[in-house]
Each structure stands twice: as structure tokens, then as C-alpha cells.
Structure 1
Amino acid sequence: MPQKLLVHRAAVLGAGVMGAQIAAHLTNAGVDTVLFDLPAKDGPADGIVLKAIANLDKLSPAPLASKALAAAITPANYDTGLSLLQDCDLIIEAIAERMDWKQDLYRKIAPSVPPHAILASNTSGLGINALAGVLPEELKHRFCGVHFFNPPRYMHLAELIPAQTTDPAVLDALETFLTTQLGKGVVRAKDTPNFIGNRIGVFSILSVIHHTRAFGLGFDEVDALTGPLLGRPKSATYRTSDVVGLDTMAHVIKTMADTLPDDPWHRYFQSPDWLQALIAKGALGQKTGAGIFRKVGKDIMVLDLEKQDYRLADRGAAPEVVEILKLKDPAEKFARMRASAHPQARFLWACFRDLFHYSAYHLAAIADTARDVDQAIRWGYGWAQGPFETWQSAGWRQIATWIGEDIAADTAMSDAPLPAWVGAREGVHAAEGSYSPAKDALLPRSSLPVYRRQRFPDPMLGERFAPGETVFENDGLRMWHDGDDIAVVSFKTKMNTVSDAVLDGLQEAVGRAERDFAGMVIWQPKEPFSAGADLAGALGALQAGKLDLFEAMVANFQATSQRIKYSLVPVVAAVRGLALGGGCEFQMHSAKTVAHLESYIGLVEAGVGLLPAGGGLKELAVRASAAAGPGGDVFAELKKTFETVAMAKVSNSAANAKELGLLRAGDKIAFNAYELLHIAKVEARALAEGGYRPPLPARRIQVAGEVGIATFKMLLVNMLEGRFISDYDYEIAERIATVLCGGEVERGALVDEDWLIRLERKHFVELAQQDKTQARIAHMLKTGKPLRN
């Protein structure tokens, strides 16, 4: 099979929550997808699938990048729809975790699978070789495991598990497809129970459960300790279990108990009494409204094992333990943690110790390298560092000594010895690669061609990637290149906010790009793209009464946007994460935007009592005029984006940003965040090679004028009377309407960009002087939340 997998159509077998979400994400990626399930007993034969597709809209976070995509999924059932498989290039099975059910389904579909198609099981832990055993010989080499993590749109990890009969070329082709087309971080796992992510991740949860009881801690206390303080998600341990589903959790634990009888930690592979009791009562977590936690009114309650009842979840991390966890030096942090007499600190040391012990003991059996384990846990569980990275950063030898002492003292969960390789090394990650017990050597990253698209892959501990050659740098940004003809600009401010130094730097960078490069990309090494203007600096200038300084700053912002738009070389914005306010406006003025699917874009100034004034409203007016055409209905075009700006809407995906009018139809959506820079540079070079010229200045912009303003006011009055907006919201929105419509001029009047820019700046500066706006800005800076006044 060639390394390139051409997927014209895909099928997902099983319309449960996971199967439906996999189908949704394939559809997000533009793959024509058929979703199968059993025929319904009542109503239409495809009723089960139709219900599953309808249910996608109710799931949170949203599986679909746009609600409209639901209609693109084709429903089918196994009785009447198997002929649809004959057009499929990729078939993913995602039915319930029962070996016999999966094998029965394979026997049923095998005659309908075309001779070139790849068949993959999304099992979370069943044996891939055992599943392959029932397949006909001609299909065995095209079968493997591909385990997506839940929710599949958002979780970066996909584990790829070969059977002994899988053709290596099939794995390479599928890894390439998963990486670029679906945006996944692929880890190849061995065919062992629960593979890598759940083998290590579920053990970590089991060790937390064990030590919670051993140290007498509350579930809320443990979640306070095992969340962001450790660089892990806010849902921590027990809230995560509630989200996953306590029945699912118990099933995964049982799978470990049933399939790993010889594991030295086997006696811990059982659901505790309290978990079994909750399941028996139907308290399965978030999906049933109660589990370990439940919400009563506005209060979050937590199960208290001593009281055998729920109590208010109000126990947190002790101040002295927080102090330890906030230490910058990992070695000092772990030394203090282990030496502390506080039960919370002792609990944390015990959890880390047993996680490190388990990971090292099983590394050779479950993975090729320590990198695979760390990436699986980071990408599948959302940890900032994997277990081996955490151990190595805290001092490999010292931690190993302490683990050995605890094993000898019988305080560890198992008396299994640490592998000999642990004591022979100073760590498992280095610049040249990560440790492989099988090869007893450091192995580099995969050499598959797809990874050449990742200039800065997600780095492992000890990895450094050449930063490129600096062209120009100031306090706000750095301009650099890789020895090619495309320059890259990266901001240096907190949250990549737009400061005076960023504005001045961008104007300088565009000038240098015009002289010395074929194009320029604005790209940030980490999210967000930009959280917008530097509000603290703006508020300071206002409160100091420096109105001239403030107005000059706004004018400079607008000039920078225009400089980007009219650059003689193409400027491409590579957007990932938040692109708010000025960040949104910069990408609006670029020649093209390449946005990662998870881009949350919005003109949000109304939330702080302002209106967009980096050229955003001007640009929307220009686009509305162009879309309407000479003598056309400009107001109808403006209506599509007015509410987006007035209500400070933020897109929930790059696809949704197109629907909101914040991205253009021709802007690109990238699925792998680590390929974003590569794609943006390709787009910039393509524009340059195509003889790029900036747009001609817009001197004849048709506006909706005073009639448009009056019509928008009528819409706003209805919202005000319905108490959907406050009086001050009304004033802000009225000013937004005034700028979008070109001011108090006749309907259909022709204006130029300078007119709209001045209008934008006038209303922005007038709003900024209002006490209510300054209160909104101050409140946002203090709390991170909008104030409705």
C-alpha cells in the first residue's frame, strides 16, 4: 500500500457516543462519512443513527465544528446499508467493548469491505491480534487498532496499534492521514491491555483512589491537589471520573483486572465499595446528574465516605502544600514533598512514587520508548508533563533512590523491583532522543515524511529546536526566518497582547519583508494568537488624562492594520487559540488567514464598553459593500455581522468563525496545530509565486447610511425592552451600527476607507472617556469577566 492514504469516503461502525463523535470529527475534516448501527425496531430503519446524529448538537463540548455539518453524515444500518462500505477507503469500528460482538460484526461486514480499504478498531483496550483472528486472510494485513481519546475532536492523542499481520505501510499511511487530516498526535502502542494511555492513566487514577483512603482525604481535597497545581486539567481526578462516567470507569478497571492477572499491582485493580454503591444507585456521574459530585442549586456537593452522604465541596489544598507545589525547582519541590509530615504532601509523594514505579516497570512491555508514554499521557489526559518527564526533571537518580527505599520499607503499592536500566541511567529524555529498553538506546522521533511539516513539534524534556535567524527584534516582537524567503513574526508580550512595541514592530517588520522577503507570516509559538489590545496600558493613559496619547495609540493601531493590508508582499496570519479584538483585526487585514480548527475568534470590544477600532468595523463595511455589489443591498450584508460584533460573539471553531463573518470563505482551516506554521508559509509562498499584489485602496465603499442606522436602532430597542441588553449596551451597539453604516449620510452614499477609519476612531475615543467603559475595563482586568453596567 502506498504511504499516502486517499480517503474519499469513510465509515464508522457504531453510533454510540464515541462512534458518533468520531464520525463528526471526520466530517469536520471534510471527509464524506457514513455512520452505521443496528436497524431500529420501530420507525425508520436508520432511526438509531438518526437519533445519534441529532444528539451531537446536545453534547458539550460540541463534537461538530459547525452545526450545519450534521446534515453531511450519511446514516446507515447493517441490514440494508452494507453496500455503502464498498465506496469506503477507511472503516473505523467503534461498537461496545465486547470481543464477541466485535468479532461477530467483522464476520458480517468482511464480504463488503473493498480490497484496498483499511479496517481499524477504536477499542480502548481489547486485544488487536485477537480481533484480527476472525478476519479473512486478504483483510488481515489492512487491519489495526486506532484508539481515539474522548472527546475525539479535542483530544490530541490517537493510539495506533498494529496486529502481528498488519502491513507496516498501512500503519505509515494511516499515521500520516491521522496527523495532517484529523490533526492528531499519533503514538504507536503495543498490543497489550489498555495500550499506553489508559494503562498508565487508569493506574494513576487507581493509585489516587488507594492513597485517598490511606491518607484520609476528601474527594474535593484530592481534586484541589491533582488539578492545575500539578499542571493537569481543572477536572483533576474525581471530576474527570464523573465526566467519563463511573460505569465506564468501573468497566476499564475490570478490563485491567481480567486481562492483567500477572501484573504485580493486580490486587489494586478493583472498583472500591463506594464506586460500586454509586453505580448500583444509578449515580454514574455527569450524565445522570450525580456521581462523586453533584450540584444542588448553585452549590457543588461531594460524597463524604464517613457520613455516607453528600456535603458541601469546600475542602482545598493546604497553604503549606500549595507553597511546596509552587516551587520553581522540581528537585526542591519533590524533596520538600517527601520530607513533609502533612498528609496532603505525603499523599502526593505516594501517588507520584507509585506512578513512576509502575511506568518504569512496564515500559518495555507496553511501548517502544519513554517518549511514547509521556506523549500518550500529555495528549490523552491533558497533563503538562508525562510521568517520565516529571521524574527526570526532579532528579532521576535521587527519585529512583527514594522509590527503592520505599519499596524496601514496604510503603510502595508493590514490592516489584525497579528495572535494572533505571539505575544505569541519568534520565530517559535527551536532545538525541528518548530511551528504548528493547534497544537500550535513545531513539529519535519518527522519520515519517509527515513530521517534516512540524517545524516546532510538541517538545519533550531536553529537546530544543533551532529558533531560526533573527532579522529584527524589539520589546514587543521578534522577526525571524529559516534561511528561506518567508519571514515569521512572533509576539513576545503576555497573552500576545498588542502593545505600542508590537504596533511599531509590525510596521517595521512589514517594511523589512517588502525589501528582503517574498512574504511574511504572523505566528505565535504558543496559544493564543492574540488576546487583543493592552487594556492596562490604555486604561492607564485614560485615567492619567493623556487623551492625545490615547488617540495617537488608536491611530497607530489602525495604521498598523492598514500597513498589513497594503503590504507589497503577502502577510499571512497563522491563528491558533484566541484571536480577540486587535488579534482578530490583524488577521482580518492579512492577505490570508490559516486558522487551526480550535480557533476562538471575536471582535469582543463591546464587552469592555468599547467598539473595534483597529480597522475591524471598517473592514466589515468594506466587505459588505463588495458583497452587495454596485447598487445592492448593503444593509442585508451588514446584518450578518452586526450582531456578532454588538454581542461580542466569539467563534467556537474556525468553521464557525467563517459563519460569523470573521474569517473569509477563502481562508484555510488547519487541523494539526503543529503544522500551522508550515501551512501558513506554503500559503504565503503560493501567493508570492502567483504574482501577489495588495488590493487597490477602497475609495468607493457603498454604505447603508442613516436609514441603516435607524433600522439597527429598531432591532436594538426590541432587545432593550426585552431586557436582553442594558442601556449602556444599547449606546455601544448604536455606535457600532453608526460606524458600520458609514455615519449619518444618505443610504447608498460612497465613502472611502479613511472616512470609516476616522469614524471608528472618533466613537472609540468618545466611549473610552465614559466612566462606565472605564469601569468595564477595570473589572475585566481585575476579574477576567465582563461587567454589565
Structure 2
Amino acid sequence: MKRSINKVAVVGSGIMGSGIACHFANIGVEVLLLDIVPKELTEAETKKGLTLESKVVRNRIVNDHLQNALKSKPSPIYHQKFASRISIGNTTDDMSKIADADWIIEVVVERLDIKKLVFEQIEKYRKPGTLITSNTSGIPIHFMSEGRSEDFQQHFCGTHFFNPPRYLKLFEIIPGPKTDGEVLSFLNGYGEKFLGKTTVVAKDTPAFIGNRIGIFGIQHLFHLVKEMGMTIEEVDKLTGPVIGRPKSATFRTVDVVGLDTLVHVANGLYEGAPNDEARPWFQLPDFIKTMMENKWLGSKTGQGFYKKVDKDILSLDLDTMEYRPQKKASFATLELTKTIDKPIDRFKVLIGGKDKAGEFYRKSFAGMFSYVSNRIPEITDDLYKIDDAMKAGFGWENGPFEIWDAVGIEKGIELLKAENLTYASWIDDMLASGNTSFYTIKDGATCYYDISSKSQKKVPGQDAFIILNNIRETKKVWSNSGAVIEDLGDGIINLEFRSKMNTIGGDVLTGINKAIDLAEKDFQGLVIGNQGANFSVGANIGMIFMMAVEQEYDELNMAIKLFQDTMMRVRYSGIPVVVAPHGMTLGGGCEMSMHADKVVAAAETYIGLVEFGVGVIPGGGGSKEMALRASDQFHKNDVELNVLQEYFLSVAMAKVSTSAYEAFDTGILQKGKDIVVVNQSRQIAEAKKHALILAEAGYTKPIRRKDVKVLGKQALGMFLVGTDSMEAGHYISEHDKKIANKLAYVMAGGDLSEATLVTEQYLLDLEREAFLSLCTERKTLERIQFMLTKGKPLRN
């Protein structure tokens, strides 16, 4: 049957419930959010003369929870205006409204008795055929639907979102005993396509997949840290970005999540999985018991493994259980990996270390390899689901089986035997069948070892994706040290940045020009996109700094002109150019997006012109483009100065959107032209589709603009008065004022006596001149140097 989701009811408005409601609002769905009625009045309500029958009182709990969520950082919602898609109510007065919902999601407290009461109430109003799911992290699904109608049970299952729902991509689907196959299929597709999730169908086993493996990993480390006499700083140093994990690593992550949350799941696993061979690991070490008794639960109680005192962050000594100044952790083994860019390539080096770090990695990976092999077929039949769950739910760059592949199957077995750990017999069967790795790449698709057939099978769901890692070598058209051009098929090529942090330097600019040359000659269109952590953090400021320090101003002028000319080629090539930004898209990365025929942005795109932070103005066409976009709005608004001022402030305040949707407000993305995709995995394929549409519609090379209206002295005067007052009020420094005035001169079109139509090149020349003049300023060089060494802006 055809099924669509237009309205969702979320019952339970706590942190998870409000987060889930916000994410459905993110994707345009109407949401009804419900919670219980308060049992008594607050002091403030009593003073106002309100009663328990007042609507505002009856909805107080749900309203407070939602408002707290909307104020939280990072925000659970792509744009604050999307909150209007959420209506609130209470389970006493408004439960009948769930009859209009296409999907009802229960998110109440983790107690089976309460959940069953809620389901009983829901069934009174739910219309037959409506999806009904529970967001639980551990209660067995088969217990929940007992006693419910046949239709209820057929349309019921677990759907486990990870917190925060907007940012963590894992979406576990856990069928009940009678869940209809059509329901599972629909939720699997909907989660991936509309919610932007990595969907994983799990078995109804304790903690399902993500938390079963993730909590084991943390508990194993808790025991290992005591066994090896390690500090929490050492463990966090070894379990963070160096192995492709979040910066918060292990102990900082527990502080953020809450120690009580982790303990709850660990205790549940200890009780609920009596036959788990690693059950002793789920017992709490003494230091965890002490922390629980002291209520040192992490961020929510002000102290956990770390504690902030004034400006200092102290660490917990696990031997004395007292807080002390942090100790810097350093290991010789980590030094050996500094020249290895990708975490997946570091694992062989890490397990070979001769110091405590090497020993730690050998023990921790051996424990993980043993555990995940023994969980198949208990928690899932397919090994790729374990890797998907850990990557999407815990932010790992590589899953356990991918890491095992990286060190080698035989080497992994060697580590296991050294620790007297067991592994599943299917591993031996795999090797005996001639399969020497868990994963292979075939015809651009990822294949995994299927245990039942003893053969490599294609990971399902890839047809909607283009995975650049899988085609880079076989479909490569051209490459240099900073960029790769791949053939995406159907006449579309892709330019992928491969520089450090995807900065835009000479090699990348060469790659852009080469890609346009190739596309104009032999292809129909070009996509500029990559699948790194971020699209691009901007121009290579290290190169700019060296030229400026050496006072090589002619060379710097040529470099900036090359950047500008390349952006103009993106705009005025003979083929459509679609740019696909995601993550941090700053400075030059933003300018490139602004010059594309179309932007296909990931929802999680943090984009802006941030050059003020390093003491310059946007010099790759960004300042020109903001003036041009303001000019295009003049005919729609009589107050031209106000329009120009809005665009000026977007640059002068270095505004960075917290989602792609916010970038429409700052003028970086354009309504009616640029689009947003929620599932980043689909982004390159979607960008290719739009490049094809533009090409097949009869793409014509645009004509260079000669009709940009600039306002001259009228606008310049307004800006200069504004920057004077900002400096006088100590809102900006003298150097901030100087940068802002340079930007004002460019965006006003200079000190022309009256409004005038000018060419884009005229504005580009002004922009480049202003950029170069700022590069001669000592305070600008100080800002660039500070950014290069400290990674954050200097206010001087």
C-alpha cells in the first residue's frame, strides 16, 4: 500500500520527545506533541490566579520541555520558524487528536508498566493502519504490545532514535512478534530518505545493536584503564580523533551523556543478557560506583570525570578519587601516525606500538573484535549493520569490522589469542571459504561477507548513493595532490578536494579549472563535492600569510586574481556547475558555492563568509557577490540602503549559518534556485541529478553582468557613520573598523557621486585591492598567524 507521513503525534515531551518532534518539524511534517497534566500549581501560577483547569497550566509540562529544547545549543531545529509546525497538548484533553496522525511515537519514561498504560490509551483513539512505535533504548519490544489488538501489533515496532535526534544519524528499527513486513520496509525507507538517517533493522535483544556494542566498548575501557593504571587524559587522547572518534573521546562523552544514563544501560545489559560471554565487563568498577554515590554524573551535575573550577578544567584521579590539574598525555606511538591523514590507515601502526599506547590498542581492539564477532547472529545476521550502527550512533569514522579489515583478519585473530579471548566460528569458516576480508568493493558498490551464503553480497540501499571512496580509483579522470576528478556517469564529472581540511590552494584551483575544461570538452556538467568531514574551511591562509610576510605583493595579487577568475569560471562556464557543500563551508568554500549554477546543500551545512576573523574581507568574489545580490533585490524594495546593509552585515559580522536553511536568511543560499537535502549520503547523487537536469534543459553559458547597481557615496557615508559609532561604543576595535570600512568601500562601489551601474569586474578589482591593502597591515598578519597556530580568531 502507498503510505505517506503528513502528521506525527509524539507522546512524551522530554529531551528525546521534544528532539524527535523538532526533527520531524525540520523535514516539514506537522507534529502534535503531548505530555501529562501537572498535578499541582507552581508558585508563579498561583500568584497569577491560575487554576489546575487553566489551559496554560494543563500544557505547562509539554510547553516548558519544548521551549527548553528550542533554546538549547546546539539547536534541535534547522530554523526557529520551523517550530510553528509543532502544536502542543496534554494526554488528558488532547489524546483524541492522535486520530489524525499517520504515525504515533511513544517517548515516555523507560518503564514497561507506564508504556503499556500509554498504549492502552492510544488504542482508544488511533485509527486502524496508523503506525505506532516506541522510542525505547532497551525494553524488549515483544513485551510492549502484549494485549493489544491485531491491527495494533501488526503496525507496531520499536524505532530507536539516538540523542540528539537531529545530529546522530542512527535509526534502529526493532520489529515485534507480529510486525508487518510492509511496516518495516516503509520505516526503513522513510528513515533513510526523509529523516536523513542510517536505518538499521535490529533484533529484539537487550540494548539492540548500537548501545549493545557501544556500552560494551565503554565498559571494557573502564576496566582496562584500571588494569593498565592509565589516567583519563591518556584514554581520551587515545580514543579521540586519532582513531576517527569524536573529540570528546570516552570520558568527556560520558560526562556529556550522563554517567547515570550509561550505568542504567550497563545494568540492564548485565541483568538482561545472562549468557553474554563478556557479562563481567558490564559490572561497574568501584570508581563508577563511588561517582554514582557522590552524584558526579557529568555536565548535568557540574562534575564527572572532569570538573570546571573557575577557568580551569580538572581531571578525576581514579586512584585517589580526587580532582587534580590535567596532565598532558603523549605517546611515541601517536607520533608515528602524524603523517598519516586517514584514521583507517593508522590502525596497523597503532597496534604495533612498543609503548603503553600500543599495548592499550592491542587490548582494546582485541576485546572489541571478540565481542562483535560473537554477537552475530544474536543481535543481527549481518556484520555491516554493526559497523553502520557504531558510525551513525556513536560518531565512529570506522566500524569494528572495518578496523579489523584494516589491521588484517589474521592479525586480529593474533591479538585475540594473545588476550585469551574467543571469536565466533564463522570467522574460521569465512577464511576457509577463501574470503580474506569482511568488505570488498565491486563495480563501485560496497560488498560485505554474508555468513549464511559464505560469499560477498552487496550492502543494500546503495543505489540512491554515490560513494566517492568506491569509485575514486576506477572512475578517476584526472588528479593532482589537491584534487581528483571522477566520472559519475551520464556525462557528469565530479571534482573532489583532497587537500588538508579541504582548503583551497593552488592545486585545488588548478583542479577546478581542469574540471571545467574537461566538462566543456567531453561532458555535460560538473559537480563540485566531496565526502570529507567538511566541504572546505576556505582558502589556504598559510600561503597568504607567507606571501604577505615576505611582502611578495605582486605574487599575492596574482594568487587572489587566480582565485577570483576561477570563481568567475564556475559562474560563466559553458556547462552547468553544481556545488554540494556540507559541514563547515567557510570563506572560499562559501564563495565557490555562491558562484555555482545551483547549490545542493546538506541540511547540516555551516556556511558563511568568515574572512573578518583573519583580518581581511572576502577576496574570492564574495564581497562582489554580496553587492550584486543586494543590487538584484533593489527593484523589490524601495529602501535600497536597508537592503545593502543586510548583505553588508552578513559579511561584517562573519555570520555562519547553523544549518543550510539559515543560509537563505543570510543571502548565501538563494530561494527558488538552491536546494537542501537531509540525508548527506544522497548529496552527490542528488547534485548529479540536478546537473543533468540543467544540461538537458539546454544550458546556455550566462552573460557576464554589467548591470550591478551600486549606491556610491550615499551608502558609503551610511556605513562609515555606522562603523564610527560602533568603535566609539567599544563594540569593535580600531582594526575591525578598518576592515569594515574596506568592505563598505567595495560594496558601495567606491565613492561614486551617485548610484551607478557597474560591471562585476569593476567590483572584483575593488575587492582585490582592498584585500591586498589589508594584507599589508600588521594586525591582519597577527590575526592570520593566530588562526594558523591557535585555530581560533584573534580580537586585536
Trace 1:270-289 onto structure 2 (pairs within 5 A). 270-289=283-302
SS of 2:582's partner is strand
The answer to whether residue 433 in structure 2 is matched with residue 422 in structure 1 is no
| CA 59–405 in structure 1, closer or farther in 2 if over 3 Å, else same | same
The answer to whether residue 541 in structure 2 is matched with residue 535 in structure 1 is yes
Partner of 2:505: 499
Partner of 1:391: 404
The answer to whether residue 209 in structure 2 is matched with residue 204 in structure 1 is no
Partner of 1:456: 467
Larger mean CA deviation between 115-124 and 11-20 belongs to 115-124
Trace 1:480-559 onto structure 2 (pairs within 5 A). 480-559=486-565
| CA 254–625 in structure 1, closer or farther in 2 if over 3 Å, else same | same
Question: Which runs of 5 or more residues in structure 2 are unaligned?
Answer: 42-55
Q: Give the AA of the match of 1:444.
A: K
Q: Is the 8 A contact 1:53 1:70 kept in 2?
A: no
Partner of 2:681: 674
| CA 64–747 in structure 1, closer or farther in 2 if over 3 Å, else same | farther
Given candidates 282, 287, 294, the residue that maps to 2:307 is 294
Cα distance in structure 2, aligned partners of 1:544 and 1:326: 28
Cα distance in structure 2, aligned partners of 1:662 and 1:34: 33
Give the alignment's TM-score, normalised by structure 2: 0.91
Q: CA deviation at 1:438?
A: 4.6
Q: Give the AA of the match of 1:455.
A: I
Q: Is the 8 A contact 2:350 2:357 kept in 1?
A: no
Cα distance in structure 1, aligned partners of 2:592 and 2:339: 38
Q: Is the 8 A contact 1:581 1:604 kept in 2?
A: yes
Q: CA deviation at 1:712?
A: 2.0
The answer to whether residue 441 in structure 2 is matched with residue 435 in structure 1 is no
Partner of 2:204: 191
Cα distance in structure 2, aligned partners of 1:633 and 1:694: 33
The answer to whether residue 352 in structure 2 is matched with residue 336 in structure 1 is yes
Partner of 2:45: none
Partner of 1:13: 11
Given candidates 739, 751, 759, the residue that maps to 1:744 is 751
SS of 1:487's partner is strand
Q: Give the AA of the match of 2:144.
A: L
Partner of 1:85: 98
Cα distance in structure 2, aligned partners of 1:258 and 1:163: 21
Q: CA deviation at 1:6?
A: 1.6
| CA 91–676 in structure 1, closer or farther in 2 if over 3 Å, else same | same
Q: Is the 8 A contact 1:369 1:437 kept in 2?
A: yes
Given candidates 601, 618, 621, the residue that maps to 2:627 is 621
Q: Is the 8 A contact 1:607 1:786 kept in 2?
A: yes
Q: Is the 8 A contact 1:189 1:366 kept in 2?
A: yes
Partner of 1:702: 709
Count of matched residue pairs: 767
Given candidates 575, 586, 594, the residue that maps to 2:600 is 594
Q: Give the AA of the match of 1:419.
A: A
Q: Give the AA of the match of 1:271.
A: L
Q: CA deviation at 1:554?
A: 2.0
Q: Is the 8 A contact 1:230 1:325 kept in 2?
A: no
Cα distance in structure 1, aligned partners of 2:357 and 2:560: 51
Q: Give the AA of the match of 1:105.
A: V
Q: CA deviation at 1:589?
A: 1.2
1:245-284 deviation digits (Å, cap 9, x = unpaired): 1111111112112211222333332333433333333332
| CA 25–527 in structure 1, closer or farther in 2 if over 3 Å, else same | same
The answer to whether residue 98 in structure 2 is matched with residue 75 in structure 1 is no
Q: Is the 8 A contact 1:634 1:702 kept in 2?
A: no
SS of 2:604's partner is strand
Given candidates 383, 397, 404, the residue that maps to 1:370 is 383
Partner of 1:714: 721
Partner of 2:28: 30
Q: CA deviation at 1:654?
A: 0.8
Q: Is the 8 A contact 1:705 1:744 kept in 2?
A: yes
SS of 1:443's partner is strand
| CA 39–693 in structure 1, closer or farther in 2 if over 3 Å, else same | farther
Cα distance in structure 2, aligned partners of 1:301 and 1:71: 42
Q: Is the 8 A contact 2:351 2:362 kept in 1?
A: no
Cα distance in structure 1, aligned partners of 2:339 and 2:482: 28
1:682-741 deviation digits (Å, cap 9, x = unpaired): 222223333444555433333232222222223323332333321111100111112112
Larger mean CA deviation between 33-42 and 569-578 belongs to 33-42
Q: CA deviation at 1:603?
A: 0.9
Q: CA deviation at 1:676?
A: 0.5
User: What is the root-mean-square deviation in Å for CA atoms of aligned residues?
Assistant: 2.5
Q: Give the AA of the match of 1:421.
A: W
1:580-613 deviation digits (Å, cap 9, x = unpaired): 2221111111111111011111111111111112
Cα distance in structure 1, aligned partners of 2:477 and 2:334: 42
Which runs of structure 1 show a deviation greater than 6 angstroms over 4 or more consecutive aligned residues? 324-331
Cα distance in structure 1, aligned partners of 2:232 and 2:347: 27
| CA 56–639 in structure 1, closer or farther in 2 if over 3 Å, else same | farther
Q: Is the 8 A contact 2:351 2:359 kept in 1?
A: no
| CA 248–471 in structure 1, closer or farther in 2 if over 3 Å, else same | closer
SS of 2:581's partner is strand
The answer to whether residue 432 in structure 2 is matched with residue 444 in structure 1 is no
The answer to whether residue 787 in structure 2 is matched with residue 780 in structure 1 is yes
SS of 2:650's partner is helix
SS of 1:21's partner is helix
Trace 1:312-351 onto structure 2 (pairs within 5 A). 312-317=325-330, 319-323=331-335, 333=349, 336-337=352-353, 340=354, 345-351=358-364
1:444-491 deviation digits (Å, cap 9, x = unpaired): 211x5xx3110118x7xxxx4465645555555444423313232223
SS of 1:204's partner is helix
Q: Is the 8 A contact 2:334 2:350 kept in 1?
A: no
Cα distance in structure 2, aligned partners of 1:201 and 1:569: 47
1:562-592 deviation digits (Å, cap 9, x = unpaired): 2222234321111112222221111111111
SS of 2:398's partner is coil
The answer to whether residue 770 in structure 2 is matched with residue 756 in structure 1 is no
The answer to whether residue 572 in structure 2 is matched with residue 573 in structure 1 is no
Partner of 2:52: none
1:724-783 deviation digits (Å, cap 9, x = unpaired): 321111100111112112211245333332322221122112112222222322332233
Trace 1:299-314 onto structure 2 (pairs within 5 A). 299-314=312-327
Cα distance in structure 1, aligned partners of 2:742 and 2:338: 46
Cα distance in structure 2, aligned partners of 1:401 and 1:508: 47
Cα distance in structure 1, aligned partners of 2:578 and 2:474: 18
SS of 1:723's partner is coil
Cα distance in structure 1, aligned partners of 2:616 and 2:19: 39
SS of 1:652's partner is coil
Trace 1:637-676 onto structure 2 (pairs within 5 A). 637-666=643-672, 667-676=674-683
Question: Which runs of 5 or more residues in structure 1 are unaligned?
Answer: none
Q: CA deviation at 1:105?
A: 0.8
Cα distance in structure 1, aligned partners of 2:264 and 2:496: 46
| CA 439–129 in structure 1, closer or farther in 2 if over 3 Å, else same | farther
Given candidates 671, 674, 690, the residue that maps to 2:697 is 690
Cα distance in structure 1, aligned partners of 2:787 and 2:472: 37
Cα distance in structure 2, aligned partners of 1:641 and 1:214: 58
Larger mean CA deviation between 598-607 and 66-75 belongs to 66-75
Partner of 2:65: 52
Give the alignment's TM-score, normalised by structure 1: 0.92
Q: Give the AA of the match of 1:603.
A: L
| CA 608–326 in structure 1, closer or farther in 2 if over 3 Å, else same | closer
Trace 1:225-244 onto structure 2 (pairs within 5 A). 225-244=238-257
Q: CA deviation at 1:58?
A: 3.3
Larger mean CA deviation between 681-690 and 724-733 belongs to 681-690
